[in-house]
Structure 1
């Protein structure tokens, strides 16, 4: 029995690694043509600098996230959907956020006259919440209406706990927060791509160790391969960024994978960089408003938010920021994997 299980796990791991390699090759072969097409069409974000508080973009070519999302959807649809309908949820969430991100990117392009830079925050946040709540309900509802996850979560050193129907608002918040945290992190060449690659790799290992989520493992490694291919073109100085299309789509996919693996308590550890980046923006805005209201003189804690912009202004180079944040992500992911083995 154990030998049979071991053979099946090895077979699933081999399939996952082949999907990762295939995704990387597809991105490497198609990436240059896609970037050239974007350049010819001038698919470039309007450079926008909002004083010393935030910096939104640099006028770079955007929509690079297509290079990741399309191969992952294609390969998963061909090789990871047979008797694995649970893959439809992360794919649907990824595509849903990709479409939302593409619309947001569209209204921030130089070639598109618009009074707004992208969608308004209220509209974008409302649509993000809509996708997140729908996904959470599908995750909770029993078959055939949903995936039948009953709110179970693995707690390190404790075991399984059931949060019941409360998993719906919890999952909705996790998806929404992860989407925005990854989106905020996409501001330095290679940063979001590398941190996502490590995060998906960590959850791929966690799914493999669990043994019950080999389909999630295959999806994770497909995403790892696609991110690796994308990073070939996103190395500093990068000609292209993934844009809101890519960062929102991959943030949504990461959150749903964490929820389906029932190891979502480990997500803040695996994604420690995303958490810190998001908190730096939140605290910057909150403290600025607080000091303006209480003292009449607004004060900024950072020279610019999120944290990677502050570090760049203080003298860190783009490669230094990326490499050091990736080291942190690798270390935190090792901790998360170790904790998953104790659940």
Structure 2
């Protein structure tokens, strides 16, 4: 019996570049570039011209994709993939290779305008461009475990999101699917942090309210803040995008929060009158009325120093420190001192 008849057709004849590209989530032009630049190509060509990829060729490509998604430069990844270092065809997501110190190198993450960033940004960017959901999930989880939420947000998530956003803005309608998918996975990773830390929340401290101003749809920075508050054990209520003013004022009166965080991405959405109104909103019995502190978060609030009753943090780390102090002060004033982590 002919042994080849018992083997799958692709094992005998190989498959086309287009089919491999769809299977791996890599553009056909990327495969041709890897073949031309690094020798990561099919062992045989049909009629001497057309590429036909065998299972062995595809295994090398899978290792190349895994390594580049981990932030390894393409030339180095190609040498390792050809040499057969590491598992050739992983059947489950593999944890990315994370250096113990920031690694900044020139180059690109599949054409994204990164500049001088951590190597992990390039790996996450390559996975995003390939629409490689399992790798993005694995990388983001591993990075948060290794570096912590704040560092991962400031040095990996934000630069990668900005690079994808700039690529989208300069490429017409291209890359919008990359931006949406990456944003979803960043949001998922942030919520996992909050869910994992939720059981440690301090019930004896007044809640912190998080909301975008009316007309503002960017919620990821608030989601990062909510995750950071959960890690600290501080209770928060996330209201999300484009909260109507009357709804937010009613929530303040109902909950008596330690603080209210208002996010504005652009000056066109920053609602100064609403911020002032919330800072002036009082609750409680007559003679013991209380007010809250408003944090003006996001670049939309840039300008003169904030008015009394308002603070403007410079980033996630500073916002968490301010909110922790406000929450503990509010708990102490209520006669229930908050625990210290």
How does the TM-score come out when normalised to structure 1?
0.25
Please say which structure displays the higher CA radius of gyration.
Answer: 2
Greater percentage in helix: 1
